[in-house]
Amino acid sequence: MEVTMRRTVDEINKSHIENALNVPYMFITQEGRVENPDFIAQVSSICKKDHRFIVGCNSGGRSSCACDDVSNAGFKHVTNMEGGYPSWVDNILTIENQQKNALASSGLKAFLFLHLILYGLMKSITRQTDP
């Protein structure tokens, strides 16, 4: 099972679920939040339509919309993380935060580096578990 986050880069930099992949559903711009036009393509590039994965955001709202979008795009086993990221933390599940993450001095660099590592790990795990 993969965990796919739909949080913003700022939210991810503060803390995030360990081993999660991040594909932003929305971007924060000067005009407000704007939907990621490449969202489905980005999800499709890292997940197969028959993979099982959990979608989460900061509260559960964006991830619910993201679940609808990926389900409508043909993904079969998509689950919304009810209550979002705080629910994950409240249940004492594993997280990474800036204090724990010493991969780089910049939060953004750490996020990008971690994202690339996790992308490789998840691809490796996916290849090992696919029939």
DSSP codes joined into one string, 52-92: EEEEE-SSSHHHHHHHHHHHHTT-SEEEE-TTHHHHHHHTT
Q: Per-residue pLDDT averaged across 110-126, rounded?
A: 37
Who has greater pLDDT, 24 or 96?
Answer: 24
- Is 72 a residue whose pLDDT tops 90? yes
pLDDT band at residue 37 under the 50/70/90 scheme: very high
Q: Helix, strand, coil shares of the chain as percentages rounded to 5? A: 45, 20, 35
How long, in residues, is the chain? 131
The per-residue pLDDT for 79 is 82
Pick the range with the lowest mean pLDDT from 52-61, 87-96, 121-130.
121-130
H/E run at residue 105: none
First to last CA, the chain: 15
Q: What percent of the chain stands above pLDDT 70?
A: 50
Pick the range with the lowest mean pLDDT from 11-15, 85-89, 93-97.
93-97
Among 47, 57, 65, 67, which one carries the catalytic annotation?
57
Q: Set out the domains of the chain in order of their start, with CATH numbers.
A: 2-129 (3.40.250.10)
Catalytic annotation on 57? yes
Mean predicted lDDT score pLDDT of the chain: 65
- Is 5 a residue whose pLDDT tops 70? no
Cα angle for residues 104, 56, 44 (degrees, 5° grid): 85
Pick the range with the lowest mean pLDDT from 9-13, 32-36, 92-96, 99-103.
99-103
